[in-house]
A and B are shown apart, each in its own frame.
Chain A
């Protein structure tokens, strides 16, 4: 079973609209979550991290984490065509070894249309 599950698989929003992504983990060892974005032909780039329950806002991006349900979401307001990309949720667990391993979901394809 995939340890990090994302939904939806794809999303289309109008320019200026709100894009919302969901992510759920099945592993309670995962305590730290990241959102990454990947444009076609490039490597993933971190958008933001969230480690505590509640909301975290950075510019047009807002992440929300509920540790009890292991659910994390990302919302992009005022979406722009340049936001069109593949969005990944990634989770890491704190262990004594502290290896930095990230476990990624399958991703959500976002298309922002004019």
Chain B
């Protein structure tokens, strides 16, 4: 299996622009998580899905952030409009409830908002 795939790996954009981050979970996994990692705040859970349905979005920082999972193979995290304080590494992870508690992480997208 290719593991969790994220794209792009790096994104540089200007303040006010829309940013879309993409994630392909491991085939067959039924949970998908989006995290943000910064030096100041560490690793934060933003939102997670079960069978494509959002379960808990309490970690989404504000309305500028939105996430979708239109099918079992794809999820997006969108920031509109982006701000410099959104600069971070964004990780996607997936898991399979029947395999226990292990989450498998993607390589991350490093976002820089100028």
A, B: real partners: no
